């Protein structure tokens, strides 16, 4: 396509999304290498410079698991959530806050954006409490109660800090870590964090970057992309098992977000260069778009 046509196709979206908040959830599975991270950071900076207010919640599950392996600890997940003892919580903090957050912030800076790295502990952004005992079904059908340890659920989002940062032209980069009323650190699922903050700040879009082209009708067939879906259709797909594993918290997050004011939620392949730009600035977009 001619370069001038590309720019003209983008104009309605630049106008429509001017000053609008765009929440980008950058999943660990989409952080395939330095180039992919750099490209995502550059796209985020571009959104800022054309007048939007982007913000990033990052994950890092695979990197946390690799660090646990190196330290001789076996990662364990229940219902998509990491069983988190005290030592694991330290590893989670070290990887998310100490490594991934600073890498994203510096890449945004290198591309000319102003960015600040924070976690849910800063300014009590993510007031949380321990999730407590969770029921799971054993292979033999028995229902067991397990404690996920320092895994939290979000009780309240205090978004003042985010509003200050975005209105002063900063791109907030947020680690999915919460704080309880005694000041303890809790491990939160990054999809849930992105959705909760997106609703609280009235984001226009929630963009979830992962390692599949979008929601698939057949999880083994990347060609079976579902381009658009509404909440009731998604509930059916969860019920019949089409949506499973890590995709369940993602879709539940998207459903919650669009039911709580976010206009559209999108699941995209973050490994694909410029997937964010292709979604926002082209007529047909890419990935799966979810509406209420
Ligand atoms: N219907 C489906 N369509 C697409 N992916 C699915 C579906 N059901 C399950 N999945 C799985 O969900 C995964 C994405 O979730 P997850 O691994 O938690 O990603 P992330 O680390 O990016 O948050 C995909 O890699 C895929 O294996
Ligand atoms: C409670 C819980 O499971 N927390 C996650 C936090 C990181 C995350 O969510 O990363 P992705 O987005 O890459 O999956 C974890 O420990 O892996």
pLDDT of residue 190: 97
**In contact, 74 and 68? CB cutoff 8 Å:** yes
In DSSP terms, 24 is beta-bridged to 56, 207
Instruction: Name the residue of 31, 59, 87, 154 to mutate for ligand 2: max ligand atoms within 8 A of Cβ.
Output: 59
Cα three-residue angle 227-56-231, rounded to 5 degrees: 35
Number of domains in the chain: 1
Nearest ligand by distance to the CA of 68: 2
Of 14, 19, 11, 25, which is closest to residue 275 (Cα–Cα)?
25
Q: Say which CATH number the domain at 146 has.
A: 3.40.1160.10
Highest mean pLDDT among 85-99, 133-147, 244-258: 85-99
Nearest ligand by distance to the CA of 249: 1
CB neighbours of residue 202 within 10 Å: 13
b/e per residue 17-30 (b: at least 16 CB within 10 A): beebbbbbbbbbbb
Residue-wise pLDDT for 11-70, tens only, equals 999 999 999 999 999 999 999 999 999 999 999 999 999 999 999 999 999 999 999 999
pLDDT of residue 1: 60
- In the chain, which ranges are continuous DSSP H helix? 3-16, 34-49, 61-70, 86-93, 102-110, 160-167, 190-200, 231-239, 247-259, 275-281
pTM confidence score:
0.96
Residues 213 and 206: their CA atoms lie apart, in Å, by 16
The band of 245, judged by pLDDT with boundaries at 50, 70 and 90, is confident
Residue-wise pLDDT for 161-203, tens only, equals 999 999 999 999 999 999 999 999 999 999 999 999 999 999 9
Q: Is the dihedral of CA 66, 67, 71, 75 positive or negative?
A: negative
Centre of ligand 1 to C-alpha 245, Å, is 6
Is the pLDDT assigned to residue 78 strictly greater than 90?
A: no
Range of the domain at 145: 3-291
Centre of ligand 1 to C-alpha 272, Å, is 15
Residues 166 and 161: their CA atoms lie apart, in Å, by 9
Residues 242 and 231: their CA atoms lie apart, in Å, by 15
Nearest ligand by distance to the CA of 187: 2
Q: Which residue ranges have their beta carbon within 6 Å of ligand 2?
A: 27-28, 59-61, 64, 81-82, 92, 151, 176, 187-190
Q: Does an H or E element contain 25, and which?
A: strand 21-26
**In contact, 266 and 279? CB cutoff 8 Å:** yes
Is the pLDDT assigned to residue 141 strictly greater than 90?
A: no
pLDDT of residue 182: 95
Q: Whole-number mean pLDDT of the chain?
A: 95
Residues 19 and 35: their CA atoms lie apart, in Å, by 28
**In contact, 124 and 166? CB cutoff 8 Å:** no
């Amino acid at each position: 396509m001619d370069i001038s046509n590309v720019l003209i196709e983008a104009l309605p979206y630049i106008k429509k999304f001017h000053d609008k908040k765009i929440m980008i959830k950058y999943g660990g599975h989409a952080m395939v290498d330095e180039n992919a991270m750099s490209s995502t950071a550059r796209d985020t900076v571009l959104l800022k410079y054309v007048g939007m207010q982007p913000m990033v919640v990052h994950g890092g599950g695979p990197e946390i698991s690799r660090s646990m392996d190196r330290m001789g600890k076996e990662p364990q997940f229940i219902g998509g959530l990491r069983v988190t003892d005290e030592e694991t919580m330290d590893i989670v903090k070290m990887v998310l806050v100490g490594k991934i957050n600073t890498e994203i912030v510096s890449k945004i800076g290198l591309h000319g954006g102003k960015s600040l790295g924070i976690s849910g502990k800063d300014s009590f952004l993510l007031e949380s409490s321990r999730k407590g005992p969770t029921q799971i079904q054993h292979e033999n059908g028995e229902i067991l109660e397990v404690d996920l340890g320092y895994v939290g659920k979000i009780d309240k989002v205090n978004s003042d800090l985010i509003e200050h940062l975005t209105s002063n032209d900063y791109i907030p980069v947020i680690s999915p870590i919460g704080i309880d009323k005694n000041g303890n650190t809790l491990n939160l699922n990054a999809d849930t964090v992105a959705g909760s903050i997106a609703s609280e700040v009235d984001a226009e879009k929630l963009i979830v970057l992962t390692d599949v082209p979008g929601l698939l009708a057949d999880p083994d067939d990347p060609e079976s992309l579902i381009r658009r879906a509404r909440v009731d259709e998604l509930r059916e797909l969860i019920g019949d098992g089409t949506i499973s594993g890590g995709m369940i918290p993602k879709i539940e997050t998207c459903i919650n977000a669009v039911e709580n004011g976010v206009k559209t939620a999108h699941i995209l392949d973050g490994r694909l260069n410029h997937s964010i730009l292709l979604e926002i600035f082209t007529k047909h977009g890419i990935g799966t778009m979810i509406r209420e």
